[in-house]
Amino acid sequence: MAPIKSILIAGLALVALLSGCAAIPQIKARMDFTSPEAALAHVMAGMSADVTVQALADIRLTTQEDLHPMKLAVLMKKPGSLRVEALPLFGPPVFFLSIHEQMLKVYLSETRAFHTGRASAENIARYLPLKMDPQDLIAVLTGTGPLSSGPDTLLRGRAEGDYYRLDMDGPSKKQSLWIRTTDGFLKRLDLHQDQNRSYQVRYEEPLREQDWTFPQKINIVSGGGNGFSLSIRYRDVRFLKQADPVRFDLAAPPGAAPVYLD
């Protein structure tokens, strides 16, 4: 009887061991891209156009002369919709900005001036530190690059350690993206638009939303003669699926003085 008892005990131990092994989560395989086109397709398949990002943003803008901390309430939606409200320490918002359907609208409550015009990179740069068109701006602020490019863009790619580097050389801009192969997170974006304008963007603290990730922290460094650094820390992030598009269309308050940018 003793040998039989020993065999039964050993068998039960083996079953328990096998069951325990089966419960161990498996490590996912690396996301190794076979071509630059595959890497580009992965990045483009991120945040969809039916998702609206709602968040608070702690901002630190550092220029050669000064440091500008601020707090913003933001709404963002691809391909190029944005709503920003600057939140002071006390009282109601003092700065409102909206970009929607290729129109830029800004309201300054202190002067009661309502500015409106085309959402061109030049007009956007009057109020925001990034001189970009709406599509590129949203791509940078949501970590869902690459930026828009034309049909003559040349794609190149190669592995660099735990990252896949995707280079996109076009007639008007050159950009490089570093995609982390362990989870597909866009970690870095370098953009060169001309000799006087370049940006280095670093993304951190990915927030997983279904099959894509959203960066909760962004650091941007601008080169050129008027260089600056911009730190963005999102919090209270929400992903809305049925946000009313009218929320992106800033209406002129009664009695506001119109200022036309174009």
The answer to whether residue 235 is domain-embedded is yes
The answer to whether residue 76 is domain-embedded is yes
The answer to whether residue 250 is domain-embedded is yes
How far apart are alpha carbons 153 and 185 in whole angstroms? 23
Give the CATH number of the domain where residue 101 resides. 2.50.20.10
The answer to whether residue 91 is domain-embedded is yes
What single letter denotes the amino acid at residue 1?
Answer: M
The answer to whether residue 10 is domain-embedded is no
> Hey, what are 204's tokens?
């951190």
Domain count, the chain: 1
The range of the structural domain enclosing residue 150 comes to 48-260
The answer to whether residue 81 is domain-embedded is yes
pLDDT digits (tens, 9 = 90+) for 130-180: 999 999 999 999 998 877 777 789 999 999 999 999 999 988 889 999 999
> What's the mean pLDDT in 8-29?
37
Q: What is the rounded average pLDDT for all residues in the chain?
A: 85
Specify which residues 206 forms β-bridges with.
215
Strand-strand pairing, 163-169 and 174-180:
antiparallel
How far apart are alpha carbons 208 and 231 in whole angstroms? 21
Asked whether the predicted pLDDT for residue 21 surpasses 70, the reply is no
Tally of residues, the chain: 262
pLDDT of residue 71: 96
pLDDT of residue 30: 60
What does 136-198 look like in DSSP terms, one character per residue? HHHHHHHT--PPP--TTPEEEEEEETTEEEEEEE-SS-EEEEEEETTT--EEEEEEEEETTEE
The pTM of the full predicted model, rounded to 2 decimals, is 0.84
pLDDT bracket for residue 196 (50, 70, 90):
low
Of the segments 8-22, 31-45, 228-242, which one has the largest average pLDDT value?
228-242
The answer to whether residue 37 is domain-embedded is no
The answer to whether residue 21 is domain-embedded is no
pLDDT bracket for residue 2 (50, 70, 90):
very low
